Amino acid sequence: MKKTIIISAMAVCLSIVNVNANSSSESFNDNTTVATFKVSAFCLSVVKGDYDTVKKLIDLGTDVNSRSNGMTPAMYAAKFNRTEILELLIANGANLKVKSDQGWTAKKYAELSNANEAVSVIENALTKR
């Protein structure tokens, strides 16, 4: 029984390889559209978890509530569970009640990403205010 299954699997693999190996003389007109999203350097530093760069940018006057692709830095920090950076943003005036272009708050992004630590940080910050 095992031999039959193994031989059948090998036959299927060989047939797939042969089908994919056939060359074709068709030419394709590639009219694909690529959507590009530009994320600010500040939000990119948040996503990467680069605490030092985020702190330096805040010290240089970067707005902690500025949007990049419709999301605030706090939303990025919550989505990627960057709790240390999230606490830094909150300490510097990040608005946790603002909604993204999709209508979600930083807490919702954390919940969708299963970032439980970020949810705790946000809940604690919201109860203190």
Residue 59: how many other CB atoms lie within 10 Å: 9
User: Which pLDDT tens digit goes with each residue over 49-90?
Assistant: 999 999 999 999 999 999 999 999 999 999 999 999 999 999
What ranges do the domains of the chain cover?
A: 41-128
Q: Does the domain spanning 41-128 belong to CATH 3.40.50.150?
A: no
Q: What percent of the chain stands above pLDDT 70?
A: 71
Contact, 99 vs 70, CB < 8 A? Answer: no
Tokens, residue 129: 């205010």
The pTM for the full model equals 0.71
Contact, 54 vs 45, CB < 8 A? Answer: yes
pLDDT of res. 128: 85
